[in-house]
Amino acid sequence: MHDIEPHHHWRHTYISAEDRRSPHYGRIYDEFRFTHKIYNYFIHPQWDEFGSNTLYAKILYVDYELGIGIVELIGEWNDCLSNDILFLKQNIVDPLINENVSRFILILDNVLNFHGSDNCYYEEWYEDLAERGGFICFLNTLPHVLDEMCETQINHYVNMGPGMQIPNWRSFEPRNLAKQVESNRSLASHSLP
**Does 187 or 7 have the greater pLDDT score?**
7
Q: pLDDT (tens digit, 9 = 90+) per residue, 35-79?
A: 787 888 888 889 899 999 999 999 999 999 999 999 999 999 999
Strand-pair partners of 73: 57
Query: 98-140 pLDDT, tens per residue?
Result: 999 999 999 999 999 999 999 999 999 999 999 899 999 999 9
Backbone angles phi, psi at 189, to 5 degrees: -120, 140
Alpha helices by DSSP H, the chain: 79-82, 84-88, 94-97, 120-130, 143-151, 174-184
Which domains are assigned to the chain?
16-184 (3.30.750.24)
Angstrom distance (rounded) from CA 75 to CA 55? 5
